[in-house]
């Protein structure tokens, strides 16, 4: 009977140890995943900022050209009204 209790206790300690090691491994994997995801999000945010800056510069250029064309059309219409 003592041998059975010792075997059960030994098995319980072994299973508990494996559970702790496995939980620690999963925790480490979770931390590594979190670091990878955080890095990816930081990279994505940087690229989005760059895209936003590029889009703003392009929009300024497009609207400046559009403004010049509107002024040119207004001048032409003003000249055609005089004739």
Provide the whole-model pTM.
0.52
The percent of residues above 90 in pLDDT, for the chain, comes to 34
What pLDDT is attached to residue 63? 96
CA distance 42 to 51: 14
Bigger pLDDT: 46 or 15?
46
Q: What is the average per-residue pLDDT within 49-63?
A: 95
């Amino acid at each position: 009977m003592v041998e059975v209790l010792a075997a059960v206790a030994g098995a319980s300690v072994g299973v508990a140890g494996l559970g702790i090691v496995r939980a620690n491994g999963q925790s480490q994997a979770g931390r590594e995943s979190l670091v990878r995801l955080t890095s990816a999000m930081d990279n994505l945010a940087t690229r989005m900022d760059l895209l936003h800056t590029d889009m703003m510069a392009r929009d300024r250029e497009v609207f400046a050209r559009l403004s010049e064309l509107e002024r040119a059309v207004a001048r032409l219409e003003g000249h055609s009204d005089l004739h």
